Amino acid sequence: MTDRIREFLRTRRPDGPCLVVDLDVVREKYLSFAKAMPDTRVFYAVKANPSPEVLALLAELGSCFDTASVPEIEMALAAGATPERISFGNTIKKERDVARAFELGVRLYAVDCEAEVEKIARSAPGSKVFCRILSDGAGAEWPLSRKFGCDPEMAPRVLEHAHRLGLEAYGVSFHVGSQQRNTGAWDAAVASAAGIFREMADRGITLKMVNLGGGFPTRYLKNVPVVEAYAQAISDAILTHFGNHVPETIIEPGRGMVGSAGVIKAEVGLVSKKSDGDDVRWVYLDIGKFGGLAETMDEAIRYPIKTERDGDELAPCVLAGPTCDSADVLYEKEPYWLPVSLEIGDEVLIEGTGAYTTTYSAVAFNGFSPLKSYVI
Ligand SMILES: *Cc1c(COP(=O)(O)O)cnc(C)c1O
């Protein structure tokens, strides 16, 4: 929560559930990444929060952009980024989208297999490609697991294929899992990347770049290390595994850039019990999994929730959303402690919601509007 968001909510009294994003926090986060990692270029992961104001601010501050689709590329361009500052970082692209990205000037692409390399070679000839390698996401609260990346053993073959087809085999990427609270998580991946650099050098191809991905956390209920601690751990890993041959590096923060900049204002719609003997109350909010809080899936992300009655006695609650889908329950396995005095109509503030909320909100499930967003 920031004073600016508090003041906005007090004076504007926006109706319905809504997200308020404070651009001052985004600016501060960008500058802290840039300062802690001065030799590393920042590619903001657009999917975390693609609001035009956020993109325009980051473009003005000098950020580059990691995109996953043609519309995201167009949003980054509209915000003022030039195409050299945009990567097409999705490893799963339609070839016609690659062609469109190429037309728009994008020259940096992610791949994780030979079939994807062939699409790029045909539709974005001469471009730079980096090969994403698998990472188990251990220690991350929102692991990205096996969907993206190839085994490090396979990467040299993929990159050599790119080289033979006239592309520039440019580097290696990975993502250590989102909301990664272990600063040591980068070490093993950097070691794999260094191994691939050596293997490629033996084949006569010089790689240049390591894309360190995202994973930088937002503070939810538990403390998280500061950006400087991540910067130090990553710099140590590079020194250990690359020695004097320090590669060009980029990072792709999403959550760590915008998560703490946003607060969702929501309302208690119902407080009830399922039986007289029930000692866990059900608290239903006017926002749930389909209104933007999708990352509560498997209760992975636990948001801090503030009420006007904080300080009163607490009791465990099942917390649920307003829609007619029984999957729309936020926290049940591990009930959420809220004030016993909480009542229907009370306002609640859900903090740390600047990332992965508006974009996850359904279009009109049960007729509920997508999550409204105010960027201030
Ligand atoms: C989503 C994504 C990111 C951002 O991850 P965070 O954990 O939110 O920082 C970075 N890179 C790629 C390729 C992604 O898909």
**Ligand 1 centre distance from Cα of residue 242 (Å):** 24
pLDDT of residue 167: 98
Mean pLDDT for the chain overall? 97
pLDDT of residue 325: 96
pLDDT above 80 (res 217): yes
Contact 318, 332 (CB under 8 A): yes
Q: Is the CB of 156 under 6 A from ligand 1?
A: no
289 pLDDT tier (thresholds 50, 70, 90) = very high
pLDDT above 90 (res 144): no
Of 194, 224, 253, which marks where a domain is finished?
A: 253
Residue 73 DSSP SS3 = helix
Scanning 130-269, the segments in alpha helix (DSSP H) are 155-164, 186-202, 227-242, 255-258
Q: Please write the tens of the pLDDT for every residue from 341-360.
A: 999 999 999 999 999 999 99
pLDDT of residue 93: 98
Residue nearest to atom 5 of ligand 1 (CA): 214
pTM over 0.95: yes
pLDDT of residue 139: 81
Instruction: Tell me the HSE value of 355 on the side-chain side, using a 13 A CA sphere.
Output: 28
The answer on 110 and 175 residing in a single domain is yes
**Ligand 1 centre distance from Cα of residue 256 (Å):** 10
The answer on 279 and 167 residing in a single domain is no
Q: Please write the tens of the pLDDT for every residue from 120-130.
A: 999 999 999 99
CA distance linking residue 73 with residue 87, whole number of Å: 8
Count Cβ atoms within 10 A of the Cβ of residue 34 and give its class: 0-12 exposed, 13-18 middle, 19 or more buried. middle
Mean pLDDT for the stretch of residues 203-227: 97
CA triple 292-295-301, angle to 5 deg: 125
pLDDT of residue 146: 82
CATH code (residue 138):
3.20.20.10
In a domain, 152, yes or no: yes
Q: Please write the tens of the pLDDT for every residue from 151-175.
A: 999 999 999 999 999 999 999 999 9
Q: How many domains does the chain have?
A: 2
pLDDT of residue 255: 98
The answer on 219 and 290 residing in a single domain is no
The answer on 221 and 96 residing in a single domain is yes
Range of the domain at 324: 260-375
What 3 state SS string does 174-202 have? Answer: CCCCEEECCHHHHHHHHHHHHHHHHHHHH
**Ligand 1 centre distance from Cα of residue 215 (Å):** 7
137 pLDDT tier (thresholds 50, 70, 90) = confident
Q: Is the CB of 214 under 6 A from ligand 1?
A: yes
68 pLDDT tier (thresholds 50, 70, 90) = very high
143 pLDDT tier (thresholds 50, 70, 90) = confident
Q: Is the CB of 259 under 6 A from ligand 1?
A: no
pLDDT above 90 (res 22): yes
Share of the chain above pLDDT 90, in %: 95
Q: Is the CB of 199 under 6 A from ligand 1?
A: no
